[in-house]
Amino acid sequence: MFNTFSNGTKALIGVSIALFLVLVVALSSFKPTTANSNLASLSEIQIQSVISLLLAFGVSPELMQNIEISLRGKVPEMLATSATTTTPVPVEDASPPSPPTVATNNISISISPTPAAKNVSDGVAYVLVGGFLFDATLSKEDISFSSLKFLYTDNALYDPYNCAIFSGPDEFMTRYKYNFNPDWVHPAGTRDYAFLLTTPLVISKGTTRVVDIRCHTNSRAFGGTGFFSWGLSGADGKATFTGTGVERKEIIIPQVVPGVGNPMTFTS
């Protein structure tokens, strides 16, 4: 009787019968206590019986393959490949942090009248040779410095050495017990020299503070061997070094009045 149907009709009838058989078998093996009961619970003998029946109805090999995969509890390839896939959206890199704000009007520095131009003796330790006035009376926060730069003008045959930063009794560079301190400044030639501070210099808001340079004078220096001075460099009224606002962490460029400073002349 089935020979009177076309191949397409046979396949449709076969699939319908197969699905009916699958449903019957699945229901007969359903257990209420099993949460994951599905077509995968069919035995191999049951699966082969359904496949044989479908082949008898002339089901196409492609359709037969998908039905067999379904009977074994898997997703047919044709359905898996047709599922909508979501393309992940790349996450853009975070924007780089904004550069720190630079302020230029919070503090001013000028050459202090003390020490005045004077004669200095040779071979003396911690001679006061330069002074600078840090004025933060207009600042709204304390300002911290981890390094300073001052201009050394060299007109001496024998330069001073062991130059360090002081402010009254306070010291800001590590003191060594040796005669020559490698972390201090030993000028030779006219230029800016950087003083690296091991203790930060903090200028409190609303105040002024005098910062000194003290050096050892060379024991070979004597009258007629020249003079030297410590002063300030600047460009467009701005210092060659910076500080940092203690509260807002802004980089602060001090205003300066450039000058060569007061000369220290060697005498016997």
In a domain, 151, yes or no: yes
Whether residues 63 and 107 fall in one domain = no
Integer Cα distance of 7 and 69 in angstroms: 22
- Burial of 187 by CB count in 10 Å (0-12 exposed, 13-18 middle, 19+ buried)? buried
User: Does the pLDDT at position 52 exceed 90?
Assistant: no
CB 84 within 8 A of CB 48: no
Which residues are within 8 A (CB) of 96 and not within 5 positions of it... i.e. 6 or more apart?
Answer: none
Q: What value does the mean pLDDT of the chain take?
A: 80
Whether residues 45 and 132 fall in one domain = no
Pull the structure tokens for residue 245. Answer: 């606002």
In a domain, 96, yes or no: no
Residues 22-29: what's their mean pLDDT? 46
In a domain, 89, yes or no: no
Whether residues 228 and 127 fall in one domain = yes
Whether residues 166 and 254 fall in one domain = yes
The pLDDT, as a whole number, for residue 259 is: 97
In a domain, 65, yes or no: yes
Domain extent, residue 41, equals 2-82
The pLDDT, as a whole number, for residue 56 is: 64
User: Does the pLDDT at position 12 exceed 60?
Assistant: no
β-bridge partners, 166? 171, 212
Helix (H, G, I), strand (E, B) or coil at 245: strand
Whether residues 78 and 195 fall in one domain = no
Helix or strand holding residue 62 (H, E): helix 61-71
Pull the structure tokens for residue 154. Answer: 């060299």
Residues 47-65: what's their mean pLDDT? 67
User: Does the pLDDT at position 95 exceed 70?
Assistant: no
Whether residues 51 and 152 fall in one domain = no
